[in-house]
Amino acid sequence: MGRTKGGLNSKLHAVCDGEGRPIVMLLSEGQMSEHKGASLVFDALPPAKALIADRGYDSTPFRQALAAKGIEPCIPSSRSRKIPYPYDKALYRQRHKVENLFAKLKDWRRIATRDDRCAHTFFSAICIAAAVIFWL
């Protein structure tokens, strides 16, 4: 799970499969925290053994929701946690796949420069790019 900021104050939250292909994407306002973005995509998460995310997604409610769904969180603790949660560092090395997803999407100039002013048009361009890059 990851996110990237687009121009004009928007943030793309994405979940990818083990091969780095997007399976869930959500465009939110730029000020939305990762915790809220994660809660919005939570119901769309497919069955999985583990979820790898960066420390921006570290929250107790999100970890509890993942555990209730039978998904092991592989999320480093935020720096503000007094007692950090353990996580599988070897598994966490696979997080580069979601970062690669964002990099491939930004190869499309229209997405990298955020040419569209309207959020739904911008998200449509992201979906088209993702379909062409990863699924066609």
Range of the domain at 77: 2-135
Residues with Cβ within 8 Å of 121's Cβ and at least 6 positions away in sequence, in order, are: none
Q: How many domains does the chain have?
A: 1
Q: What is the pLDDT of residues 11-70, one digit of tens each?
A: 888 999 989 999 999 998 888 888 888 888 888 888 899 999 988 889 899 999 999 999
Q: What is the pTM of this model?
A: 0.82
The DSSP symbol for 132 reads: I
CATH code where residue 113 lies: 3.30.420.10
Q: What is the pLDDT of residues 74-117, one digit of tens each?
A: 999 999 889 999 999 999 999 999 999 999 999 999 888 887 87
In whole angstroms, give the CA distance from residue 32 to residue 91: 27
